[in-house]
Structure 1
Protein backbone atom coordinates (compact mmCIF):
# COMPACT_ATOMS: atom_id res chain seq x y z
CA UNK A 1 0.00 0.00 0.00
CA UNK A 2 1.44 3.35 -1.02
CA UNK A 3 0.91 6.24 1.38
CA UNK A 4 -0.06 9.25 -0.75
CA UNK A 5 -1.04 11.93 1.77
CA UNK A 6 -1.26 12.70 5.47
CA UNK A 7 -4.26 11.19 7.25
CA UNK A 8 -5.43 10.74 10.82
CA UNK A 9 -7.71 8.45 12.80
CA UNK A 10 -8.74 8.35 16.44
CA UNK A 11 -9.14 10.81 19.26
CA UNK A 12 -7.39 11.97 22.40
CA UNK A 13 -10.08 10.57 24.68
CA UNK A 14 -9.10 8.21 27.47
CA UNK A 15 -8.56 4.61 26.24
CA UNK A 16 -8.11 5.79 22.63
CA UNK A 17 -5.23 6.99 20.48
CA UNK A 18 -4.67 9.44 17.65
CA UNK A 19 -2.71 7.96 14.75
CA UNK A 20 -1.27 10.12 11.98
CA UNK A 21 0.25 8.52 8.87
CA UNK A 22 2.38 10.54 6.43
CA UNK A 23 4.29 9.56 3.30
CA UNK A 24 7.82 8.43 4.12
CA UNK A 25 10.92 7.55 2.14
CA UNK A 26 13.13 5.56 4.51
CA UNK A 27 11.00 2.66 5.74
CA UNK A 28 8.67 2.89 8.71
CA UNK A 29 9.40 5.65 11.24
CA UNK A 30 7.21 5.68 14.36
CA UNK A 31 6.96 8.47 16.93
CA UNK A 32 5.16 7.20 20.03
CA UNK A 33 3.86 9.39 22.83
CA UNK A 34 1.95 7.45 25.45
CA UNK A 35 0.80 7.73 29.03
CA UNK A 36 1.83 4.08 29.43
CA UNK A 37 4.99 4.07 27.31
CA UNK A 38 7.23 2.79 30.09
CA UNK A 39 5.13 -0.35 30.58
CA UNK A 40 3.65 -0.94 27.13
CA UNK A 41 5.71 1.07 24.63
CA UNK A 42 7.38 -1.94 22.99
CA UNK A 43 4.04 -3.71 22.65
CA UNK A 44 2.41 -0.63 21.09
CA UNK A 45 5.28 -0.25 18.61
CA UNK A 46 5.04 -3.95 17.71
CA UNK A 47 1.29 -3.65 17.11
CA UNK A 48 1.77 -0.61 14.85
CA UNK A 49 4.57 -2.31 12.87
CA UNK A 50 2.65 -5.57 12.50
CA UNK A 51 -0.47 -3.75 11.31
CA UNK A 52 1.48 -1.74 8.73
CA UNK A 53 3.23 -4.93 7.58
CA UNK A 54 -0.14 -6.66 7.10
CA UNK A 55 -1.24 -3.69 4.97
CA UNK A 56 2.01 -3.88 2.94
CA UNK A 57 3.03 -0.34 3.93
CA UNK A 58 6.79 -0.08 3.46
CA UNK A 59 7.44 3.67 3.69
CA UNK A 60 5.61 5.89 6.16
CA UNK A 61 6.04 8.29 9.03
CA UNK A 62 3.63 7.38 11.81
CA UNK A 63 2.77 9.37 14.90
CA UNK A 64 0.88 7.68 17.74
CA UNK A 65 -0.51 9.75 20.61
CA UNK A 66 -1.79 7.08 22.98
CA UNK A 67 -4.08 7.51 25.97
CA UNK A 68 -4.14 3.88 27.10
CA UNK A 69 -5.75 2.25 24.07
CA UNK A 70 -6.05 -1.53 23.83
CA UNK A 71 -4.19 -3.32 21.04
CA UNK A 72 -7.38 -3.80 19.01
CA UNK A 73 -8.06 -0.05 19.14
CA UNK A 74 -4.49 0.75 18.06
CA UNK A 75 -4.79 -1.72 15.16
CA UNK A 76 -8.10 -0.21 14.04
CA UNK A 77 -6.74 3.34 14.19
CA UNK A 78 -3.61 2.40 12.23
CA UNK A 79 -5.69 0.55 9.62
CA UNK A 80 -8.05 3.49 9.22
CA UNK A 81 -5.32 6.14 9.03
CA UNK A 82 -3.26 4.09 6.58
CA UNK A 83 -6.24 3.46 4.28
CA UNK A 84 -7.18 7.14 4.35
CA UNK A 85 -3.54 8.09 3.62
CA UNK A 86 -3.41 5.63 0.72
CA UNK A 87 -6.79 6.83 -0.55
CA UNK A 88 -8.17 3.31 -0.50
CA UNK A 89 -11.12 1.62 1.16
CA UNK A 90 -10.88 -0.76 4.11
CA UNK A 91 -12.29 -4.25 3.62
CA UNK A 92 -14.94 -4.21 6.37
CA UNK A 93 -15.44 -7.97 6.04
CA UNK A 94 -12.18 -8.33 7.98
CA UNK A 95 -12.87 -8.45 11.66
CA UNK A 96 -10.94 -6.87 14.50
CA UNK A 97 -11.31 -8.94 17.65
CA UNK A 98 -10.86 -7.17 20.96
CA UNK A 99 -10.10 -9.48 23.84
CA UNK A 100 -9.94 -7.77 27.18
Structure 2
Protein backbone atom coordinates (compact mmCIF):
# COMPACT_ATOMS: atom_id res chain seq x y z
CA UNK A 1 0.00 0.00 0.00
CA UNK A 2 1.02 3.57 -0.72
CA UNK A 3 1.71 6.04 2.09
CA UNK A 4 1.36 9.83 2.02
CA UNK A 5 4.62 11.75 2.09
CA UNK A 6 3.32 15.10 3.36
CA UNK A 7 0.08 16.99 4.10
CA UNK A 8 -1.53 18.70 1.10
CA UNK A 9 -4.65 20.57 0.08
CA UNK A 10 -6.73 21.19 -3.04
CA UNK A 11 -9.90 23.12 -3.80
CA UNK A 12 -11.60 26.25 -2.52
CA UNK A 13 -14.49 27.24 -0.31
CA UNK A 14 -16.36 28.81 -3.22
CA UNK A 15 -19.87 27.69 -4.10
CA UNK A 16 -20.01 24.35 -5.99
CA UNK A 17 -16.47 23.41 -4.90
CA UNK A 18 -14.86 21.37 -2.15
CA UNK A 19 -11.66 21.95 -0.16
CA UNK A 20 -9.85 18.72 0.60
CA UNK A 21 -6.92 18.40 2.98
CA UNK A 22 -5.02 15.12 3.24
CA UNK A 23 -2.45 14.10 5.83
CA UNK A 24 -0.65 10.89 6.66
CA UNK A 25 -2.76 8.67 8.89
CA UNK A 26 -1.69 6.46 11.73
CA UNK A 27 -0.32 3.08 10.65
CA UNK A 28 -3.21 0.65 10.56
CA UNK A 29 -5.72 3.47 11.09
CA UNK A 30 -7.31 3.14 7.66
CA UNK A 31 -9.07 5.94 5.84
CA UNK A 32 -10.44 8.56 8.23
CA UNK A 33 -12.80 11.10 6.67
CA UNK A 34 -13.95 14.28 8.42
CA UNK A 35 -16.69 15.87 6.31
CA UNK A 36 -18.42 19.24 6.62
CA UNK A 37 -21.04 19.80 3.93
CA UNK A 38 -23.93 22.11 3.20
CA UNK A 39 -25.79 19.09 1.82
CA UNK A 40 -24.77 16.56 4.48
CA UNK A 41 -28.29 15.22 5.04
CA UNK A 42 -28.90 14.59 1.35
CA UNK A 43 -25.46 13.62 0.01
CA UNK A 44 -23.09 13.06 2.95
CA UNK A 45 -22.88 9.29 2.43
CA UNK A 46 -22.29 9.68 -1.32
CA UNK A 47 -19.52 12.25 -0.78
CA UNK A 48 -17.81 9.98 1.77
CA UNK A 49 -18.04 7.03 -0.63
CA UNK A 50 -16.59 9.07 -3.50
CA UNK A 51 -13.64 10.15 -1.33
CA UNK A 52 -13.05 6.60 -0.04
CA UNK A 53 -13.31 5.05 -3.52
CA UNK A 54 -10.87 7.57 -5.01
CA UNK A 55 -8.31 6.84 -2.28
CA UNK A 56 -8.80 3.07 -2.61
CA UNK A 57 -8.21 3.12 -6.38
CA UNK A 58 -4.87 4.83 -5.72
CA UNK A 59 -3.90 2.08 -3.25
CA UNK A 60 -3.65 4.32 -0.18
CA UNK A 61 -4.34 2.56 3.11
CA UNK A 62 -3.78 5.03 5.96
CA UNK A 63 -4.87 8.62 5.39
CA UNK A 64 -6.69 11.41 7.19
CA UNK A 65 -9.02 13.41 4.93
CA UNK A 66 -10.77 16.64 5.87
CA UNK A 67 -13.32 17.79 3.31
CA UNK A 68 -15.29 21.03 3.43
CA UNK A 69 -17.97 20.78 0.75
CA UNK A 70 -19.95 23.64 -0.75
CA UNK A 71 -22.11 21.61 -3.13
CA UNK A 72 -19.47 20.06 -5.40
CA UNK A 73 -20.39 17.48 -8.02
CA UNK A 74 -18.86 13.98 -7.89
CA UNK A 75 -16.43 14.77 -10.72
CA UNK A 76 -15.18 17.82 -8.81
CA UNK A 77 -14.80 15.80 -5.61
CA UNK A 78 -12.71 13.16 -7.42
CA UNK A 79 -10.60 15.80 -9.18
CA UNK A 80 -9.87 17.68 -5.94
CA UNK A 81 -9.04 14.42 -4.13
CA UNK A 82 -6.60 13.39 -6.87
CA UNK A 83 -5.03 16.86 -6.90
CA UNK A 84 -4.51 16.74 -3.12
CA UNK A 85 -2.94 13.27 -3.39
CA UNK A 86 -0.65 14.44 -6.19
CA UNK A 87 0.44 17.43 -4.10
CA UNK A 88 1.07 15.07 -1.18
CA UNK A 89 3.55 13.22 -3.38
CA UNK A 90 1.56 10.00 -3.61
CA UNK A 91 0.70 9.99 -7.31
CA UNK A 92 2.09 11.76 -10.32
CA UNK A 93 -0.26 13.45 -12.76
CA UNK A 94 0.59 10.91 -15.48
CA UNK A 95 -0.38 7.92 -13.34
CA UNK A 96 -3.87 8.91 -12.23
CA UNK A 97 -6.35 6.08 -12.82
Alignment TM-score > 0.5, same fold: yes
**How far off its partner does 1:67 sit?**
0.1
Structure-2 residue corresponding to 1:20:
21
Q: Find the aligned partners of 2:25 and 2:66 in 1 and give their Cα distance.
A: 12
The gaps in structure 1 that reach 5 residues or longer are: 95-100
The reply on whether 1:10 has 2:11 as its aligned counterpart is yes
RMSD: 1.5
Taking the aligned partners of 2:49 and 2:95, their CA distance within structure 1 comes to 23
Give the Cα–Cα distance (whole angstroms) in 1 for the partners of residues 86 and 60 of structure 2.
10
Q: Any residues of structure 2 matched to 1:1-100 within 5 Å, and which? A: 1-25=2-26, 26-86=29-89, 88-91=91-94
3-state SS of 2:86 partner: helix
Counterpart CA distance in 2 for 1:8 and 1:93 is 17
Q: Deviations over 1:13-65 (max 9, x none)?
A: 00000000000011100000000001000000000000000111101000000
Q: What is the deviation of 1:7?
A: 0.1
Q: Structure 1 pair 74/93, CA: closer, same or farther in 2 (3 Å)?
A: closer
SS in 1 for 2:55: helix
Residue correspondences, number: 94
**Structure 2: unaligned runs, 5 residues or longer:** none
Structure-1-length-normalised TM-score = 0.88
